[in-house]
Amino acid sequence: MNTSFKPLRRGVALAALASLASLALSAAPWAATDAKGPIRIIVGYSPGNSGDTIARILAEKMSAELGTSVYVENRVGAGSRIAVDALKRAEPDGRTLMVGTFSVMGIFPMIFAKTTYHLSDFEPVAHIANSNVCITAPIDAPYKTVAEYAAWLKQNPTRAQFGNEAAGSPAHLLGLEFGRVIGVNNMLIPYKSTTQMISDLIGNQIPAATLALPSVYKLHQSGQVRILAVASEQRTPSAPDLPTLKESGYDLSVNSTYGAWMPAGTPRPIVDRISKAIVDAVAQADVQEKFRQLGLEPTGKDRAEFVRISDQSEKDWARIVKDTGFRIEE
């Protein structure tokens, strides 16, 4: 038997080596995060906040799936912009991501003049959940529907005001946009806390407020305030009795989106692996139940779908910001 081997032609050998080298390089970044180092989730919220809780729920599940430590780092301040700046400065090696809202990542650069980042500085990873916002009125207000509220605003333009505690948030911009749509200059009454704003709603001290649905739904059910409408595309499963603005005759829909982002330049295989870990986590029954207890609607959409949603959201919010003319010089 002839056991001799013919040497590979030089070109074939070089091509094979190049292919192996390419595979090694593409795999190396993920290998560095897979089990040889911890993964950090940055959040711009204090411990116990809903955003912080979301991140901690995901960290536990992701750690089990990825086989490495996943921990949460709180970088609080400037409405989460400090956390976003930390993400922007992080190395795109797959060891750092951020869980936050689209308003912080995509809307703030449109309205805060001194914002140091842009949505393009980050790689969308996964769409995690939605938090619905609503228009709420005092229980004793002379209007019981959105249409009646709009008519009242037109009849009382000097009293056209609404409360909100988060400048630049979807709920805040909803109040401004609703006023623009009906032809009334709806002025913001700024609050430092949701608690004080709700207290004034209950006491009939303000005409209305725009805020997160979970913070007032139980008060609505107990008859202490009246939710006029939610701003979701369709009725929300967590509050199916509430009409949407669209079915009330107003072509408006906004929500607060929770998602995950990584620094731009993070290798796609790593982004896709982290995306899968998040989507798999959100799909678990216990995670969905915990999210619903926070008043959230779990979504769990992967990177490709989140990119599509983010692109459309950026266009929609750019139009709303332009229409309202809202801008903060800081």
Rg (the chain; Cα; Å): 24
At 36, is the pLDDT very low, low, confident or very high (cuts 50, 70, 90)? low
DSSP code string of 154-171: HH-GGG-EEEESSTTSHH
Helix (H, G, I), strand (E, B), or coil: what is residue 158? helix
Give the number of C-alpha atoms closer than 13 A to the C-alpha of residue 64, restricted to the C-beta side: 9
Helix (H, G, I), strand (E, B), or coil: what is residue 89? helix
Determine the average pLDDT of the residues in 117-145: 96
Report whether pLDDT(3) > 60: no
Q: Where are the alpha helices (DSSP H) in 158-284?
A: 170-182, 194-202, 217-221, 268-282
Strands 39-43, 96-101: pairing is parallel
- The percent of residues in the chain predicted with pLDDT above 70, rounded, is 89
Determine the average pLDDT of the residues in 204-232: 94
Can you give the pLDDT at residue 12? 42
Can you give the pLDDT at residue 31? 44
Averaged pLDDT score across all residues of the chain: 88
